Amino acid sequence: EGEEGDPQDNGSRRQHHQQSPPPLPPTATGLTEQQQQQEQDERDPCRSEGELFFSLDINHLVDRALSEPVYIRNLPWRILVMLRDSSSADKTKSIGVYVQCSPESPESPRGWSVSGRATITAHHCIDPKKSFSRDVSHWFCAKENDWGYSNFLAWKDLVDPEKGFTKDGIIMLSAYVTADAPHGINWDSRRYTGYVGLKNQGATCYMNSLLQTLYCTNKLRKAVYQMPTENDDSSKSVALALQRIFNELQHNEKAVGTKKLTKAFGWDTMDIFMQHDVQELCRVLLDNMDSKMKGTVVEGTIPRLFEGKMESYVRCTNVDYESTRVETFFDLQLNIKGKKDVYESFKDYVSVELLEGDNKYDAGNHGLQEAKKGVIFLSFPPILHLQLMRFQYDPLTESNIKINDRYEFPEKLRLDDYLKEPEPTPAHYTLHAVLVHSGDNYGGHYVAYLNPKGTGNWLKFDDDVVSTCSKKDATENNFGGNDDTISIRNCTNAYMLVYIRDSCIGDVLVKVTDEDISESLTRRFAEEKRVELAKRKERSEAHLYLTVSVYTEDDFSQHQGIDLVDFDNVKRNFQVLKSYSLCQFHQFLAHEMGYPPSHIRIWPFERRKNNTTRPSYLEDRDKATSTTVYQFAMLDLRQGPWKIFVEMLPPDSDLEELPHYDFTSMALLFYKYYDPARSSMLYAGHSVESLDIRISDLYKRIREFACLNHSVPLRVYEEVKPTMLDPVNPSLTLTQLSEVRDGDIFCFQRTDLPLMKYELPSPVEYFRDIYYRIEVTFYDKSLHGHDSGVTATLNQKMNYHQMAQIVAQHLNTSPYLLQFFRPQLPHHRNFSDQPIRCSNEGNLRDFLYYRHHIDGPLVLYYQRLSIPIEEFEKKKLFKCLFVSQKLREEKEFTVYVDKNGTVKDLLLEACKEIPFSEKSSRQLRLLEVMTHRIVDIHSPERPVNELFPQKSYRIEEVRQDELHLKPNEALIPVAHFSKNPCNLFGVPFLLRIADGEHLSSVKSRIQTLLDVPEKDFDKWKFAIVQTIQPTVHLNEENDEQLFLHQFLLKTAQFPRLGSPWLGLDHFNKNPKRIRYMPERAIKIHN
């Protein structure tokens, strides 16, 4: 016989176009309601299951045959039968039977897929019990659109009358198909179910499942709509984001995105691509909503819906004493290990624990007493959240594992037996939601099965796809345990259950209408949608437009540097159709700026060969109606938006239009006035002049621009390029000046001032200072990239001390208490250990451009010092961790030691940082610890130059009994491990032992030192661990002796690098959970 999963060869498949389901005859009168419902289901092409029948005449079977299609999930399903010859020597014939799903049509996408399960049956003609059936399960897709068995039934059995599979050569085949909703195809969730799904951002299926559950909790949804959010920031308000999600789920026709919600949570990319626990998110989200509802009309909604009460008690059995405490809960965590169903978990939850023997209860004046400890429920909430504890810690693997055992949960739940006293209404519940997890501890997929109206009509919410499903799919199929047809553990099972109290179901599932959404909220969402559609349209049509940056004289007046404007800081952009002619563009710009077309003139900025950018004449104005604006701007667009200067007729002008301009005999000139007293360069104005005018004739206009007396003497310079300002001879004409062009700039200053008393007496010095001026951002090295930085304007020729002085003023500290560092690479915010010495004779340019020429953001790093930099540079820095006599990591600090000092000097400096107790020995030692094991003890006489500052060292107190070792004693290293010496953990320590000391004595002192309870310490094992030999535990029954030579020690010696060590083998009570990605707790930051 064939095997499941033997797909028909792709090369011989026939592809069929998708067809509409054939019409069925109307329902006959006299049918029962159940029969009418069944016939209605058969008419529904979107149903989740259905049966295919195929009556086949085998005498006419040549190669293959296909049944008529039956529509399930709006896809055509068929039975495919093929005549097969066995590849074996006997050439045994058989028929292959497959289930085929083939929705291909010219309009169908190639990426479709659907999960389907089917039972294929060859019916017995006389006795149905003798029918032959086989099961298949498959993800059907375009490449594998059929699945079944190539040797379903042997031909000899098929034609044998005694087998009873054929009658008159006719065989009846059927396939009962159950399918999930398809993916990658046009599945209309709203049309088929009345609900829409949520898009998955990466690993947010757990969040989508919870949001759909909360959305279908109608009472909560109505309360969310009533939260006041009129003044909330749309990018940070969680309440507004939830209102938006719920509103879109209520009204959208397609799946809803959740990016705005996660942005409101304050989540980053790592949060979005890290799968979290759905119950943890539920708790955090409900807490956040509860806090946001306080002080509003819906205050207290969360407790009223989800809060229950329980009483914890301890009741003494021999005396009249009882201690009780009432606690509230919003969800219950049920232990499922070894439990059959929810009822057994509740019995376990309220089970009584006996406190007796060593575990007696301290009853105050009654002393230690035998007692009973437990909890009992006082009240259950209207909505009961049950988390099934499928993830538990496994001490054998030292990691969390998922428990996939079968665990049943009823559709109707009765909890009266677990109440201390009966409530006014019975604690009877109806199952509302089942949140299902598929996968293991390291990841998987969440879906939600919801009974949204409490009527038993279940829906499956799988991210963006919502589909109908049977009650069995929602409940029994998610109990877990072994698969019915496959002998493997099923990893798909329920993880969280939501029940609604029967007495409250009408209130909790109250109908939500558009009237429950305020008009202001509706208007706000409508406006957001309008803006989004406009932006989407703008993006889709962006290729039709070019960006034009417009600059006016108002922008020039704010500029203090080279040229006329800083293009990076001043932007007024317009989106202009590329197809506009220059004339149309001129009219468009005039309209946008509120001027008549005759009152403005366009001057494109031109990049000159001397690295200046100036307004220039727009050539080919005669082609203004025939040439597009894109053709004019094409060359400049390589430098970003097309930049233009718009000359405008002043509002107070008497002219009707801008004066005529003749580019052959005129030039557009700009003027700047330099004030040495303020070291400022001010924009004065512009004019269009004849090329025959003398420079001296411009003085009158220049004085008017600067509001100077007509007799004030002036000196004029031409701003040629950033590092060149040429004095201008006033007797020359513009024509006599070399290469006068449109956009040339003349700078002028008064000469009747005592210029030499100013720091920058002329425009020449001013522009030189501007040229070397840079902005440098300084980041605190100790904050590891989490510092916003301090930006200072500096001169590249500054020396170290000038730079330090300015930075210290920004940081409000002394320049002598700062140390500066170069970055590792240009443009990277990665600090390095390359300090800039305070005695460096270079300038700021040398510090920044140490090995690279940098054109991007300029960055240096600093760290604050506690001692002056001159003294600090003579010392060596060590990071140390202080461990007290109780073996607790108390304090982390930095020690500065003279480079020529010793370990003893380091320990003396450390004494200043350590708070010694009264009984302290005040003696310290320096240890080197690596992966929870002591690898070296540094002698006090060791020079610190032999130590590495990059390492972290441990400083600890020498215990009193270790101050004076006897001739037969030494210190041995001790470390904790679990099962394998490679699995080290905890704080290692040194222990004094005598040569030949018995293990029982050593154990007693270790127990006292570590303060370990007797019942725990009895489980510990001991071993002498050596690197090159297998670990063998010490024989505690014989009370072995420990000798110093076993640790490669002589008497009164310290252990050396690589020495054997005493291992304490016991269970690690604080293990780190192993995950593929670093674990982060769920936080909602807003």
Cβ-contact 777, 789 below 8 angstroms: yes
Closest C-alpha among 305, 222, 219 to residue 509: 219
- φ/ψ of 269, rounded to 5, equals -60, -35
Strand partners, 412: 430
1021-1048: buried (b, 16+ CB within 10 Å) or exposed (e) per residue? Answer: ebbbbbeeeeeeebeeeeeeebebeebe
At 430, the amino acid letter reads T
- From the list 478, 509, 474, the residue with the least C-alpha distance to 492 is 478
Sign of CA dihedral 271, 277, 280, 285: positive
Residues 6+ apart with CB under 8 A from 1033: 1021, 1022, 1023, 1065
Helix residue spans in 699-799 (DSSP H)? 699-706, 763-772
What are the backbone dihedrals phi and psi of residue 689, each rounded to the nearest 5 degrees, phi first?
-120, 155
Rounded Cα distance between 502 and 787, Å, is: 55
Helices (H) and strands (E) in the chain, counts: 25, 54
Buried b (16+ CB within 10 A) or exposed e, 796-826: bebebeebbebbbeebeeebbbbbbbbbeeb
Which residue has tokens 């004493």? 321
Taking residue 196's Cβ as centre, other Cβ atoms within 10 Å add up to 23
Q: How far apart are CA 215 and CA 195, in angstroms?
A: 11
Report the C-alpha gap between 702 and 689 in whole angstroms: 13
List 445, 491, 583, 932, catalytic entry: 445
From the list 104, 138, 121, 97, the residue with the least C-alpha distance to 16 is 104
Q: How far apart are CA 391 and CA 206, in angstroms?
A: 15
Question: Residue 76: is it exposed, middle or buried by C-beta count within 10 angstroms (0-12/13-18/19+)?
Answer: buried
Cα dist from 410 to 337, 434, 667, whole Å: 18, 11, 91
Tokens representing 76? 């055509």
Query: What span, in angstroms and rounded, lies between the C-alpha atoms of 634 and 627?
Result: 12
Phi, psi of 976 (to 5 degrees): -95, 140
CB atoms within 10 A of CB 424: 6
**Could you tell me where the DSSP H helices lie in 252-371?**
259-265, 269-272, 278-293, 301-306, 342-349
CA separation (Å) from 650 to 60, 149, 419, 559, 690?
Answer: 96, 88, 86, 20, 20
Q: For strand 773-780 and strand 858-864, is the pairing parallel, antiparallel, or unpaired?
A: parallel
Task: Determine whether 786 is an active site residue.
Answer: no
Look-up of token digits 């659109």: 145
Q: Judge whether 747 counts as a catalytic residue.
A: no
DSSP code for 9: P
**CA distances to 215, 483, 722, 925 from 610, in Å:** 65, 79, 9, 67
Could you say which of 101, 123, 138, 205 is catalytic? 205
Tokens at 1048, concatenated: 């490669």
The neighbour count for residue 929, using CB atoms within 10 Å, is: 20
Closest CA to 749 of 781, 773, 704, 713: 713
Kindly state the tokens that stand for 914. 């350590």
* Alpha-carbon span 98 to 90, nearest angstrom: 24
Contact 1047, 1024 (CB under 8 A): yes
- Tell me which residues are annotated as active site: 205, 445
